[in-house]
Chain A
């Protein structure tokens, strides 16, 4: 095996299930944002155009809930996978190569910002960088809270028997502001930081084909490479 061959070695970064779930959540999330914001900003021409396109307010509500069921279904499958991974495959959900937040992420963040202003070298990222962990955890936690407040708004008659009626108001506020946060981050920060920045432009393919070359791994996640090559 020549040195060139080792440089071209390909690893699987994302499993088939992970790629599939990312794709479905991507579509479901876009659908949720479109239908939800068309309702929230329904006084605007673009929202009214979209509502007309799908056939009115009730269709908008139906599609929003359909997208919600599909998206939350992905979260549920993912949780089942985590349980299986932990208890059957005996994998680690909190190790250095996992998505679990560590103190190193805070240090990496400050180191990275120093690097932005040319005050230091790039941090040595593990398998998942701090912004990748943030992207994942924000979606993972956000989906659950959005799901909860969303269910409250879907079945207010039932939930108001458990909680006071004005919690419907609070659920609306939380649902709206979390939606703004999610859309502002996912459609701008996530797209730019994982796909559009000059280092990866125009598209980060590994989330769609699962593959990562050794060269890429060494450049973007050097800590992961060390984890792989270290004797166990």
Chain B
């Protein structure tokens, strides 16, 4: 009598047992790239954490001058706007300039400040991320000083990534992000190493990008900057798509096609040989058991 157990059933059982283990080891479970949320500014202050921050020795009135003004009146609690706007939308961050002059000047000339200006001149009612002020990236109450380059870098990845999510994911998928964030290599590049701290320049212009590359890759030539660091089509930026945007879209499409073709090829070959080996194993086991039985 020939055995007619369908090997497919055993195969499926084996795959369903083994796959979760692989998925766990390779981190294919959801949320593996989850970064820390940026420290949010709030109307309420945790004094213990404030005491550990870089600003712990500065008295409140130094930054909140309106606390001591005699002519101040309490805002109307019944007004519709009362406590509706986020704290970072109301605070006058030009006060930061009195201590952090160069950072503030860089910010003022950078793309985040430009976006803020655009937002103020033509406000949109659309929900979504708003242009960042100082306080959206830096916590005035809790930011700590004397962090190492790696500590700063990892925090920065989370802060930038809170708004630039596709860029965060592609960065962590890239050698730079893997070495810098995952393996904590201080020689690898974090966000600001290419985009600049406070200026936050877009690197869509390949000439600008090349000069950023050359800070670490001094031998890089003109076409080196065509490397797509953030292979995503979800680029933030106002206005109609420009020449570099269209070019990037084509390149990302090419990369995705090659990835899909390779993925299908690998899947096909691996499935064929795994199935082949598995059925072969069963056959030889059967042969062994038959000899053993007789």
Chain A residues within 8 Å of B, Cβ to Cβ: 39-44, 46-48, 51, 56-58, 60-61, 112-113, 115-118, 131, 156-158, 160-161, 163-166, 168-170, 173-174, 177-178, 180-181, 184-185, 188-189, 192-193, 197-199
B47 on the A face (CB < 8 A) = no
Interface contact B228-A166, CB-CB below 8 Å: yes
Contacts of B280 in A (CB 8 A): 112, 116, 193, 197
**How many residues on the B side are at the interface (Cβ–Cβ under 8 A)?**
51
Can you list 16 A-B contacts (CB < 8 A)? A39-B175, A39-B179, A42-B178, A57-B179, A116-B282, A156-B217, A156-B220, A156-B224, A158-B219, A160-B220, A160-B226, A185-B273, A189-B273, A198-B281, A198-B285, A198-B287
**B251 adjacent to A169 (CB under 8 Å):** yes
**Cβ–Cβ contact B224 & A48, under 8 A:** no
Contact B270 A184 (CB under 8 A): yes
Interface bits B258-294 vs A (CB < 8 Å: 1, else 0) = 1100110110011001101101111111011000000
A168, B227: Cβ atoms closer than 8 Å: yes
B residues within 8 A CB of A118? 2, 283
For B229-260 the 0/1 string (1 means CB < 8 A from A) is: 00100000000000000000001001100110
Query: Whole-angstrom distance between the alpha carbons of A10 and B53 in the complex?
Result: 78
A91 to B231, alpha carbons, bound, how many Å? 50
Given contacts A41-B26, A185-B273, A189-B277, contact A169 B255 (CB under 8 A): yes
Q: Which of B66-74, B91-99, B110-118, B183-191 contacts A (4 or more CB under 8 A)?
A: B183-191
Q: Cβ of B285: which chain A residues have Cβ within 8 Å of it? A: 198
- Report A-chain residues with C-beta under 8 Å of the C-beta of B121: none
The prevalent SS among residues of B at the interface is helix
The reply to whether the CB of B57 lies closer than 8 angstroms to some CB of chain A is: no
Distance of A185 from chain B, by nearest CB (Å)? 6
Given contacts A60-B183, A160-B226, A170-B258, contact A43 B172 (CB under 8 A): yes
Give CA–CA (A188, B280) in the complex, Å: 13
Q: Please report the C-alpha to C-alpha distance between residue A165 and residue B175 in the assembled complex, in whole angstroms.
A: 15
Inter-subunit contact A166/B219 (CB<8 Å): no
Tell me the minimal C-beta distance from A112 to chain B in angstroms.
Answer: 8
CB < 8 Å neighbour of B265 from A116, A156, A169, A177: A177
The answer to whether residues A174 and B255 also contact, given A157-B221, A185-B270 and a CB cut-off of 8 A, is no
Would you call B281 and A177 a contact (CB within 8 A)?
A: no
Output the least CB separation between B226 and chain A (Å): 3
Q: Are A157 and B262 closer than 8 Å at their CB atoms? A: no
Chain B contact residues, CB within 8 Å of chain A:
2, 25-27, 32-33, 172, 175, 178-179, 182-185, 187-188, 217, 219-221, 223-228, 231, 251, 254-255, 258-259, 262-263, 265-266, 269-270, 273-274, 276-277, 279-285, 287-288
Tell me the complex Cα distance, A193–B275, Å.
Answer: 12
Would B183 and A42 count as touching, CB distance under 8 A?
A: yes
Shortest CB distance A95–B (Å)? 26
Residues of B within 8 A of A44 (CB): 25-27
User: How far apart sit A47 and B287, CA to CA, in the bound complex (Å)?
Assistant: 41
Query: Contacts A173-B259, A177-B265 given; 17 further ones with Cβ under 8 A?
Result: A43-B27, A43-B32, A48-B183, A61-B179, A112-B280, A116-B283, A156-B224, A163-B223, A166-B227, A166-B228, A170-B254, A173-B255, A173-B258, A180-B266, A181-B266, A198-B281, A198-B288
How near does chain B come to A55, taking the closest CB pair, in angstroms?
11
- Give the distance to chain B from A183, nearest Cβ to Cβ, in Å: 10
For residue B168, give the distance in angstroms from its CB to the closest CB of chain A.
13
Alpha-carbon separation in the docked complex, A49 to B277 (Å): 32
Q: Is the Cβ of A170 less than 8 Å from the Cβ of B2?
A: no
Contacts A57-B179, A157-B220, A177-B263; is A166 near B270 (CB within 8 Å)?
no
In the complex the two chains form, what is the Cα distance from A181 to B261 in whole Å? 13
Q: B208: shortest Cβ distance to chain A, in Å?
A: 15
Most buried by B among A48, A158, A160: A160
Alpha-carbon distance between A156 and B283 when the two chains are bound, in angstroms = 49
Nearest residue in A to B26 (C-beta to C-beta)?
A41
A160, B221: Cβ atoms closer than 8 Å: yes
Assess A181 versus B223: contact at CB under 8 Å? Given A169-B255, A173-B258.
Answer: no
**Smallest beta-carbon distance B180→chain A, Å:** 8
- Give A17 to B115 CA distance when docked, in angstroms: 66
